[in-house]
Amino acid sequence: MSVDSGRLPDAVAVSAEALEVLRSNSGPLTTLVGRHLEEKLSWYRQLSTEERASLRLIAQRGIQGLVNWLQDPRSRSLPLVNELLGPAPTDLMRTISLQRALQLIRTIVEAVEQRLPGLMPDADRQLMLEAVLRYSREVAFAIADVYARAAESRGAWDSRLEALLVDAVLRAEPTEQIASRAAAVGWQSPTGVVVIVGSAPEQADAVFMSHLRRQCIRFSADAVVGVQGDRLILLLGGATGLQDGLERILPAFGEGQVVYSEHDGPIAYASRAAAAAFSGFTAAPAWSQAPRPVAAEDLLPERVLAGDPQAKEVLVSGIYRLLDEAGHGLLETVEAYVSTGHSLEATARELFVHTNTVRYRLKRVTEVTGWDPMTPRDAYVLQTALALGKL
């Protein structure tokens, strides 16, 4: 990785005698810097021998770079980071963070400031101190630029990995492959996945996706953002306070409905939830009074009409068969209730039972299925389930 970043300003003019003193003491100064790092930085002592040697070499190059800069003003045109870090600045980034890299520079400067002025002729002490400060400032800026460039590159690569994970979940690829892609993006949540689908905004660039990801991390342990065509897809793991979190990120979506589906297991098995969310997004316009956002499980009738076999399976197995197996006339009571215009009295006459019996049975239907026949929307779901069950 060759980086042409950070170019030195005009050199400070010091005497030839001062330059000779600096050149002859570069070895002792490097040794002094090594001891100073050991004393001042606890994390430095925990590095391996090879890593410490690599950082001491950077300090040595830094001192030699200062000599070159003071000796030849034209050296300001040389790439500072390449001169300081050598041909592989990525070695530094693998070893320490940006914060520690700047701590390293500060500690090196402290050591040089303590020793170097005392070696200089009186007339050059202040000039040499100024030279050290100006040189170290440029080094700090240059190294920060290297880290920033690396972060941008890593962010672009992470976005590609996230797009591959989203695609794998949506395509229901083998679970091993989904798990591998999730590990590649650093997915941590062992269970609990939420898939969210909505319209993508006009400006769905890398900056927008990064901002949205940070918003999601506030209420979920993992957040993967992807855009496919005109749709914005989110995969969230370990979400807490999901409803409040969804309300906060709604403005990030474009116009239209936002549909989500939850999966209790690991992300490798979240493809059904993704399919439900996509199906719900397609079918959502059929329910004009749907809340925003809306759960895919609340759009079961509309998904069936749109040709979703998974929604049909849920309605038949989760409602019709449950009522049929529960017995006690629950299935017949629901059918009579919806066919007589949701009237308790008409249902009672139809079934030749008391009104309280109808009321009790409808309460049992709610307990068995989770859907309340006395609520118009739930009654529509139940009626669709009964029709599918008969078919």
As a whole number of angstroms, the distance between CA 367 and CA 104 comes to: 65
Q: What is the pLDDT of residue 273?
A: 93
Q: Answer for the pair 22, 66: CB distance below 8 angstroms, yes or no.
A: yes
Q: With 70 as the cut, is the pLDDT of residue 7 above it?
A: no
Give the pLDDT band (50/70/90) at residue 313: very high
pLDDT of 55: 79
Q: Convert the pLDDT of each residue in 167-207 to its tens digit.
A: 888 888 899 989 988 888 888 899 999 999 999 888 777 77
How much is the average pLDDT of 96-113?
A: 79
Alpha carbon 370 to its chain's center: 34
| Residue whose pair of structure tokens reads 């190294």 in the numeric block | 143
- Would you state the pLDDT for residue 205? 73
Lowest mean per-residue pLDDT among 82-96, 133-147, 208-222, 306-320:
82-96
- pLDDT above 50 (res 87): no
Q: Which amino acid is at 287?
A: W
Three-point CA angle 306, 311, 312, nearest 5°: 90
User: In whole angstroms, what is the distance from residue 384 CA to residue 390 CA?
Assistant: 10
Q: What pLDDT, on a 0 to 100 scale, did the predictor assign at position 153?
A: 53
User: Do 270 and 172 meet the contact criterion of CB atoms below 8 Å apart?
Assistant: no
Q: Which two tokens stand for residue 194?
A: 């939420």
Residue predicted with more confidence, 184 or 297: 297
Is 233 strand, coil or helix? strand
How far apart CA 281 and CA 288 sit, in angstroms, is 13
pLDDT higher than threshold 80 for residue 83: no
Instruction: Give me the pLDDT at residue 79, please.
Output: 42
Q: Which residues pair with 346 in a beta bridge?
A: none
**150 has a pLDDT exceeding 70:** no
Mean pLDDT of 75-103: 58
What mean pLDDT, rounded, does the chain reach?
82
Q: How far apart are CA 260 and CA 111, in angstroms?
A: 58
As a whole-number percent, the residues of the chain with pLDDT over 70 amount to: 86
Please count the other Cβ atoms lying within 10 Å of the Cβ belonging to residue 26: 14
pLDDT at 228: 82
Burial of 24 (C-beta count, 10 Å sphere; 0-12/13-18/19+): exposed
Mean pLDDT, range 2-23, rounded to an integer: 64
Half-sphere exposure of 389 (CA within 13 A, CB side): 22
Query: What is the SS3 assignment for 48-116?
Result: CHHHHHHHHHHHHHHHHHHHHHHHCHHHHHCCHHHHHHCCCCHHHHHHCCHHHHHHHHHHHHHHHHHHH
Indicate the length of the chain as a whole number: 391
- HSE on the CB side for 300, CA within 13 Å? 24
Per-residue pLDDT tens digits for 211-268: 888 889 889 999 888 888 888 999 999 888 888 999 999 999 999 999 999 999 999 9
- Over range 108-128, report the average pLDDT: 82
Q: Do 235 and 223 touch, CB atoms closer than 8 A? A: yes
